[in-house]
Amino acid sequence: MNNQRITTQFGAQSTAAEVIAGIDLTGRRAIVTGGGSGIGAETARALAAANAEVTIAVRNLEAGERVADDIAASTGNRQILVAPLDLADPASIGALVARWRGPLHLLVNNAGVMRLPHLQLTPDGWEMQFATNHLGHFALAVGLHDALAAAGHARIVSLSSRAHLRTPVIFEDINFTSRPYDPGLAYGQSKTANVLFAVAATRLWAADGITANAVHPGAIAATNLSRYMSPGLSLRPAARACTRSRRSSRARPLRFWSPPCRSWMASAVATSKTAMKRWSWTRIQRPPAASRATPLTRTQPPACGRSPSTPCSESAACRGLSRSRDEKKSGKLMRYRLLGKTGVRISEVALGTMTFGEDWGWGASPEVSGRILDRFADAGGNTIDTADVYTNGTSETILGELLKGRRDRFVLATKFTNQTDPSDPNSAGNHRKKVVTSIEASLRRLQTDHIDLYWVHARDVLTSVEELMRALDDQVRLGKILYPAVSDWAAWEIAEANTAARLRDWSPFTAVQLRYNLLDRSPERELLPMANAFELPVFVWGPLAEGRLTGKYLGGQTGRATEFARPYTCVGSDDIVHEVVTISHEVGCSPAQVAISWVRQQPGSVIPLIAARTEEQFRDNLAATEVHLGQQHLDRLDALSRPTLGFPADVMREASVVGGVYGAQLRDIDDPRAQAVRRTTSGGLIAAGTNHAG
């Protein structure tokens, strides 16, 4: 390795402001781990002073918020964001990676732990210093690879230590199982591994415009920027750095490349990847070039309309990764959508509460229900779905008790239609009398004076659409419901109802609820196109196909789903489930999370309803918000589960028909509608001069 000497004009007491003076990083985006104190905080401060957008990723959110507020006050830069990150927790790393949008120009891996006096292992069985100081940095860098590549010219900077000069990495005994634990050796090997990663990353990713550096501040008494970062350093190849002694102003080179290192480097990356698989982080596998367009690197404009590479005051809101200065220090990473054409914000997943109550013999107790609701709320969830018949009304009753004192922070939805009293013929249906009595009963059980989203549970052909829509509109005008919605209707029926409401100035349906999952994609024939045309968000029940997509029934096991639920016995259904399980192993998550994420990533505003009987099940389902499937995974699932749309959709998507209807210039029309037509055309490119069918 070339031990080139690097010198700067800065002294040991240079301040961050002096080092960064004259450098303008406007439009550049950086992540600094461990930015809640010390070197990380000063690095974030220097970058902010140069007008960069800086995300401080920390385990202690309160410390991160304090530093961010201080930096914003001292630099005047309000683009200082805070995100939760625990480098010893693969799920925490996965959440940060999944939420990042757009390019990333600089990743400063600073966070770590040092010289733990006793051997500590992570829950996944790794020595804590190696897991935090190296494996966590490794996973984060590889997870953010595409974002770094999207920047065009990006840099990874890992904080190393001179301890690497004395400490090899014993890959065969990372966890000190066959040698006495030594805090210094444990710390040193983690820092040596960072040097090896910097060398290998630069070699592997040079074509992507990514350079990696491993630097160290030397022996320091304070945390001025000049001790660990300089303009000269930032322009040098990987694994070159310099340090200044407190006793000398002369720059001395760091010899990162001693003879023993050469024998380690060949296996460093491969060994680290093997380690990361054991560490439950399989997303580090770099996807093939043809399938690298994952949600991590999407470059379409955010909601505010800005270019992803252009900073704006709304950048935090657009990405949803980090929190504003005034937001509570809660670590929420839930994203939100709008309720159709309204301005109401709804969480990207909704809490289904059909399992709240034990009246049917398999639900959750009020205590467990309360803990599930609290976990949902702590994650940022705000949309709750129930019905007057769920667990014979107990679901609504439990919710009424649980929401005391916090009702208004939730978007509360319930349903009516099904019979609630077998002795009363008018306790069923969608007629006006049923609407009025059902609303009053639900309001009492829910202990509220209004319902945010009121679902018509099913189609009642004995009641005219006009009677139903006028009855719902009356309740809107009375303030007892805010928005009507519809569940389990045919597409043409919803279109008829909303058209009738619009013509008469009544309140139309604002959302649609339906069954949709990898084993039943029939809504793609009519319901989803209708919802898109009317701008209705789609709430999805049964995203797990009543448990079948978890894979637990593949071996012929029986349970509630096989005994009482819908069969889902379409040809190839087991192949679909097997693929879900396979992808879950590749991604490093559960099959349920793959199935829910597939629903969540469908075009349009599609919101899965997640529910569970136990806290463990719900925790796993909720974690699907932290999982993003790559395009290659979506393509594999689509190939196995794609439905036959039937006439006229199949015919109208044929290339020859599209060519006749839209003309040979369709490919030259720059409009979202034209793009949608091109995207759904089958049979290859549209040829000029083709005749349309018919």
Using alpha carbons, select from 31, 32, 62, 623 the residue that is nearest to residue 328.
62
**Helix boundaries (H) for 489-624:** 491-503, 527-534, 560-564, 573-587, 591-600, 615-622
Strand partners, 34: none
Number of other CB atoms surrounding residue 570 within 10 Å? 14
Q: How far apart are CA 202 and CA 155, in angstroms?
A: 9
Distance CA(81)–CA(69), nearest Å, equals 10
Strand, helix or coil for residue 220: coil
Residue type, 64: G
Q: Is the dihedral of CA 276, 277, 283, 285 positive or negative?
A: positive
Report d(CA 148, CA 136) in Å as an integer.
17
- Output the CA–CA distances (angstroms, integers) from residue 97 to 93, 222, 322, 622, in the order listed: 6, 31, 12, 17
Bond before 648 cis per omega within 30 degrees: yes
| DSSP per-residue string spanning 303-320 | TT---TTS--TTHHHHH-
DSSP code of residue 134: I
Contacts of 232 (CB under 8 A, 6+ apart): 6, 7, 8
Write out the E strands in 136-281.
154-159, 210-215, 242-244, 251-253
Provide the 10 A C-beta neighbour count for residue 367. 9
- Spatial CA neighbour of 80 closest among 110, 44, 114: 44
Distance CA 473, CA 609 (A): 26
- Is 411:452 a contact under the CB 8 Å cutoff? yes
Q: How far apart are CA 467 and CA 208, in angstroms?
A: 62
Name residue, tokens 């005034």: 326
To 10 degrees, the CA torsion angle through 538, 542, 543, 548?
-160
d(CA 394, CA 528): 32
The two tokens of residue 388 are: 């007057």
Question: Is the Cα dihedral 527, 528, 529, 532 positive or negative?
Answer: positive
Give the amino acid at 42.
E
Residue found under tokens 């008829």: 496
Instruction: Find the helix or strand (DSSP H, E) in which 445 lies.
Output: helix 432-446
Q: 181, 187, 553, 568: which one is catalytic?
A: 187
Q: Is there a contact between 381 and 427 (Cβ–Cβ < 8 Å)? A: no
Where are the extended beta strands (E) located within 429-473? Answer: 451-456
Q: Is 42 helix (H, G, I), strand (E, B) or coil?
A: helix
* Number of residues that this document lists for the chain: 694
The candidate with the shortest Cα–Cα distance to 592, out of 349, 299, 408, 295, is 349
Token pair of 308 as six digits: 């992803």
CB neighbour class for 112 (10 Å; exposed up to 12, middle 13-18, buried from 19)? buried
What is residue 59's three-state secondary structure?
coil
Catalytic: 187?
Answer: yes
CB 23 within 8 A of CB 234: no
Q: Which of 418, 440, 413, 322 is closest to 83 using CA atoms?
A: 322
What residues are labeled active site? 187
